[in-house]
């Protein structure tokens, strides 16, 4: 049996085992969707980092840098800003009332099921867009490992994901994310010195890459406006992604959240910097690839020894799986807890859980069917990821932040902000200039609608911010535990 087959066999066996153990520990909707709010900083931080580190990192980033140089890499600076905002500014208020989903927060804050259902639908649509990018990358890796057609690889990759995510819920996702993060870090850390040594060391690498692409270390590959607005997309999208925000509910308290977020930022930054170095090697060895997204699989398959290549390809698979499982979980909760829960508030938890599992399967299969029919094929993975982050930022950032900081924020204004931001993002993607990322018009439209519509209306009754204010000086410092999840 080949080294890749052995490594992947062991890896998938561990993933399925974690899924089965998690199933045995799942007793309620709270367990399934937010791990009962019981995650510590290590597992909580690992699942944050693993969810963020996707095919966009390992395949998309290298794919762009392969042809365009390092200017794209500055976007990594937006990541610590996003997570600082999430932990220091948003979480102390956002997590004062523990929910199961982001749409459930929207309903509690703004008072109607309409906004909850709208949030769930946006999540379902955006998840299909994002999962497509990861499945494309999964097909590329499967082809590199097993020599099978890309389409077969996409289907196989999706089946593996659906099995363990569906049976185990958030507990399975969190613990497999920890495993996957270890595999990611080990893969890139082991591959980097081998890759640099293969081209003769750092000095030889920098000289060679300048010879292949003299503009590697210049800023001309992208307009400054495009780079700046892409950075905004990553920052706002990371801080408002439902898959990331729900992990704040899954961790025990604010102290845990802050430690977990710091752990995640350190890991994300370290992995990104190592990936950037690998991105220098790829154009030196493979200057004429048909698409830059093939650079990382080619590096692993042709440059590394068999066992190390298998670990590196397992790291790529981990990056994809750790993101897709989180998004599938969010999509399943949107269908069962938010849409079904709004239509049948008295429905049983058992029915809701099975409907959620069905939703995970449906949302997982839909991107594969679209890709096999030709929809979404041919675009670089990272640009699909950027579209998803823009959709999250333009739909959710303003309603969430205004919801916990501005008492005048009203439900009609939040609905207008979500729909207007979403529409402006799609419109700019289809007809706007490429020198500005769609996130900017989407975010500005959302912000303007939230402010103008709220000010045009009477203030909401009572004190809508009361549930979200930290409780006294200790709560403001983030040391007071939140109330445990009650199942409400």
What would the two tokens of residue 13 be? 């066996």
What integer is the mean pLDDT of 309-321?
73
Outline where DSSP puts E strands in 358-483.
none
pLDDT of residue 428: 94
What integer is the mean pLDDT of 467-477?
62
Sign of the Cα pseudo-torsion (220, 225, 231, 237, in order): negative
CATH T-level fold of 3-382: Sodium/glucose cotransporter (1.20.1730)
pLDDT of residue 479: 39
Residue 365 has pLDDT above 50, yes or no: yes
Return the number of other C-beta atoms located less than 10 Å from residue 472's C-beta. 9
Q: 444 Cβ partners below 8 Å, 6+ apart?
A: 424
What would the two tokens of residue 388 be? 């998803």
Residue 484 has pLDDT above 50, yes or no: no
CB 358 within 8 A of CB 167: no
Average pLDDT over the chain, rounded to whole? 82
CB 339 within 8 A of CB 117: yes
DSSP for residue 364? H
What integer is the mean pLDDT of 118-135?
82
SS3 content of the chain, % helix, strand, coil (to 5): 80, 0, 20
Residue 147 has pLDDT above 60, yes or no: yes
Length of the chain: 488
CB 151 within 8 A of CB 139: yes
Look at 445 and 9; give whichever has higher pLDDT.
445
What integer is the mean pLDDT of 363-376?
74
Look at 292 and 437; give whichever has higher pLDDT.
437
pLDDT of residue 472: 56
- Tokens 């994310």: give the residue: 177
Specify which residues 251 forms β-bridges with.
39
What would the two tokens of residue 404 be? 């916990």
* Alpha-carbon separation of residue 322 from 21, 325, 427 (angstroms): 18, 6, 30
CB 328 within 8 A of CB 363: yes
pLDDT of residue 447: 97
The SS3 assignment for 22 reads helix
Look at 387 and 266; give whichever has higher pLDDT.
266
List the single range of 20-24, 69-73, 329-333 with lowest mean pLDDT: 20-24
Among 352, 367, 324, 344, which Cα is nearest to 33's?
352
Rounded Cα distance between 31 and 445, Å, is 37
Q: Which of 65-69, 155-159, 461-465 has the highest mean pLDDT?
A: 461-465
Residue 40 has pLDDT above 80, yes or no: yes
φ, ψ of residue 251 to 5 degrees: the values are -90, 155
DSSP assignment string, 301-342: HHHS-HHHHHHHHHHHHHHHHHHHHHHHHHHHHIIIIIIIHH
pLDDT of residue 337: 76
φ, ψ of residue 39 to 5 degrees: the values are -70, 140
Domain ranges of the chain: 3-382
- Tokens 């062991």: give the residue: 10
What would the two tokens of residue 280 be? 């220098």
What would the two tokens of residue 149 be? 């057609």
Outline where DSSP puts E strands in 15-135.
none
Q: 157 Cβ partners below 8 Å, 6+ apart?
A: 135, 138, 139, 141, 142, 317, 320, 321
266-305 confidence digits (pLDDT tens):
999 999 888 888 888 888 888 877 777 777 777 777 777 7
CB 61 within 8 A of CB 276: yes
Residue 91 has pLDDT above 90, yes or no: yes
What integer is the mean pLDDT of 58-70?
79
Rounded Cα distance between 108 and 460, Å, is 13
Outline where DSSP puts E strands in 7-124.
none
Among 312, 321, 63, 49, which Cα is nearest to 189's?
312
Residue 477 has pLDDT above 90, yes or no: no
What integer is the mean pLDDT of 200-217?
86
pTM for this entry:
0.85
What integer is the mean pLDDT of 194-205?
89
pLDDT of residue 485: 47
pLDDT of residue 294: 74
């Amino acid at each position: 049996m080949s080294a890749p087959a052995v490594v992947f066999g062991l890896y998938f066996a561990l993933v399925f085992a974690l899924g089965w153990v998690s199933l045995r520990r799942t007793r309620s909707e709270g367990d399934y969707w937010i791990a009962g709010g019981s995650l510590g900083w290590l597992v909580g931080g690992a699942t944050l980092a693993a969810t963020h580190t996707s095919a966009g990192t390992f395949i998309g980033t290298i794919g762009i840098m392969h042809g365009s140089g390092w200017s794209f890499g500055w976007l990594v600076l937006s990541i610590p800003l996003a997570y600082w905002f999430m932990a220091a500014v948003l979480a102390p208020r956002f997590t004062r009332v523990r929910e199961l989903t982001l749409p459930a927060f929207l309903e509690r804050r703004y008072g109607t099921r309409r906004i909850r259902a709208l949030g769930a639908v946006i999540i379902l649509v955006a998840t299909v867009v994002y999962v497509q990018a990861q499945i494309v990358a999964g097909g590329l890796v499967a082809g590199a490992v097993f020599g099978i057609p890309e389409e077969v690889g996409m289907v196989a990759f999706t089946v593996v994901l659906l099995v363990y995510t569906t049976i185990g819920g958030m507990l399975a996702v969190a613990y497999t994310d920890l495993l996957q993060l270890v595999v990611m870090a080990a893969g890139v850390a082991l591959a980097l010195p081998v890759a640099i040594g293969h081209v003769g060391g750092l000095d030889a690498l920098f000289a060679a890459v300048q010879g292949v692409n003299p503009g590697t270390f210049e800023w001309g590959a992208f307009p400054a406006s495009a780079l700046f607005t892409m950075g905004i997309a990553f920052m706002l999208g990371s801080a408002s992604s439902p898959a990331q925000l729900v992990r704040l509910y899954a961790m025990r308290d604010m102290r845990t959240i802050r430690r977990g977020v710091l752990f995640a930022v350190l890991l994300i930054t370290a992995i990104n910097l190592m990936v950037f170095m690998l991105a220098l090697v790829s154009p030196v060895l493979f200057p004429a690839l048909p698409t830059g997204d093939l650079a990382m699989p080619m590096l692993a398959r042709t440059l590394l020894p068999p066992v190390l290549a298998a670990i590196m390809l397992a790291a790529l698979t981990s990056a994809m799986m750790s993101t897709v499982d989180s998004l599938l979980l969010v999509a399943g909760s949107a269908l069962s807890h938010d849409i079904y829960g709004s239509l049948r508030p008295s429905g049983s938890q058992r029915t809701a859980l099975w409907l959620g599992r069905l939703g995970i399967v449906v949302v997982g299969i839909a991107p594969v069917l679209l890709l096999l029919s030709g929809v979404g094929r041919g675009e670089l993975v990272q640009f699909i990821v950027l579209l998803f982050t823009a959709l999250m930022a333009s739909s959710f950032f303003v309603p969430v932040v205004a919801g916990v900081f501005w008492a005048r924020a009203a439900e009609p204004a939040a609905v207008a902000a979500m729909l207007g931001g979403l529409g402006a993002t799609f419109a700019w993607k289809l007809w706007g200039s490429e020198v500005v990322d769609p996130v900017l018009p989407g975010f500005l439209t959302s912000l303007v609608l939230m402010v103008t519509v709220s000010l045009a209306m009477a203030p909401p009754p009572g004190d809508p911010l009361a549930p979200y204010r930290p409780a006294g000086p200790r709560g403001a410092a983030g040391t007071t535990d939140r109330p445990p999840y009650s199942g409400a």
